[in-house]
Amino acid sequence: MIESFGSRLERVFARSGRLCVGIDPHSFLLSAWGLADTAEGAREFGLRVVEATAGRAGIIKPQVAFYERFGSAGYRALEEVLAAARAADLLVIADAKRGDVGTSVEAYGQSWLAEGSPLEADALTLAAFQGVGSIAAPLALARERGKGIFVLAATSNPEGRDIQRARTADGRTVSRRILDDVAQWNAGAVDPATIGDVGLVIGATLDLSEFDLDLETPPDRVLPILAPGFGAQGARLEDTTKIYGPLSSGVIISASRSVLSAGPENIAEAVKTMSTQITDEYHRA
């Protein structure tokens, strides 16, 4: 039987903590690292981040767009970064934010979650503003293959607030409807993991009460929460449990610029320091 994503995430939390290091080869970061703004530069950047993360944290999150901008050469570079991360025993979340319906979204799932795909990752970010039912095919593939999905629920961009806080016919916000649907999907799994295979992306800089995500009690199965916004965007590690409340037990703290800006000489130490700080904060909570 294939091990579930939730079980694997539990082991990563216990072994390596909750830090997820973003791999975001912005043009300005490539320049700061002394690398060319090319597919080869992005490849080298990604491989160095993988090397710096291995043994110091357990999760990486390549931002696919920064490779995609270089076309086929960028995808070849990303494939090498993903392969290196797998070899280093890192859990890989492909931050692709795909979303569609029918066979199209099914193909996205196969691209990123199917065993043996050149782009195979352990988890994938998806948008489901057509309804969580629209991503049923990749959800099913993830469960079958022991992979994870992170569904956008509440994002920090101001353009998304009105849509995400809008209320459906039953009075729930769009964000809350997504949370409830994901929790229901996780409840249907038969594996014994405490953590579900499907989680949410919820920004750490938000007031979750505005989105009706300030739960009084946690779902029956812990929701993995991919939490961007710490560090450069302003959220503080010491406020994690205050921000997420009953959802805190599933939080994965995503950090990109706050560690990447340390540069190639200092990134390993930056990753180690932040990972240790996160672990210490959770022990104190």
Q: What amino acid positions are annotated as catalytic residues?
A: 97
Contacts of 43 (CB under 8 A, 6+ apart): 76, 77, 78, 80, 81
* Coil, strand or helix at 184: helix
Which runs of consecutive H residues, i.e. helices, occur in 94-252? 102-113, 136-145, 161-165, 174-187, 240-244
Q: How far apart are CA 159 and CA 87, in angstroms?
A: 39
Closest listed residue to residue 255, CA positions, set 238, 234, 241, 224: 234
Report yes or no: 49 and 260 within 8 Å, Cβ to Cβ.
yes
Report yes or no: 263 and 32 within 8 Å, Cβ to Cβ.
yes
For tokens 């099914």, name the residue: 106
Report yes or no: 230 and 267 within 8 Å, Cβ to Cβ.
no
Which runs of consecutive H residues, i.e. helices, occur in 131-228? 136-145, 161-165, 174-187
Do you know the residue count of the chain? 285
For tokens 């409340």, name the residue: 245
Q: How far apart are CA 70 and CA 82, in angstroms?
A: 16
Which residues, listed in sequence order, are joined to residue 124 by a DSSP beta bridge?
94, 149
Q: How far apart are CA 41 and CA 35, in angstroms?
A: 5
Q: How far apart are CA 100 and CA 127, in angstroms?
A: 8
